[in-house]
Amino acid sequence: MDFSLPSLERIIYLLPGIIIGLTFHEYAHGWMANRLGDNTARNYGRLTLNPVAHLDPIGLLMLFFAGFGWAKPVPVNPYNLKIDMKQGMLLVAFAGPATNLFIAFAATIIWGVLYGFNIPYFDTFMMYAIQINVVLAIFNLLPIPPLDGSRILAGLLPGEHAWLDNLEQYGFLILIALVFTGAIQVIYKYLIIPIVTVYVGIADIIASIFRFW
**Mean pLDDT (whole number) for 56-69:** 79
Q: What percent of the chain has pLDDT over 70?
A: 96
Of how many residues is the chain composed? Answer: 213
Task: Give alpha helix (H) positions in 44-190.
Answer: 57-65, 85-114, 122-140, 148-156, 162-167, 171-180, 183-187
pTM: 0.91
How far apart are alpha carbons 62 and 136 in whole angstroms? 12
Expressed in angstroms, the distance from the first to the final Cα of the chain is: 45
Question: Are 135 and 66 spatial neighbours (Cβ–Cβ below 8 Å)?
Answer: no
Q: What is the DSSP letter of 192?
A: I
**Mean pLDDT (whole number) for 20-29:** 97
| Residues tagged active-site | 26
Question: Are 54 and 72 spatial neighbours (Cβ–Cβ below 8 Å)?
Answer: yes
Q: Is the pLDDT of residue 115 over 60?
A: yes
How far apart are alpha carbons 55 and 57 in whole angstroms? 6
Chain centre to alpha carbon of residue 116: 29
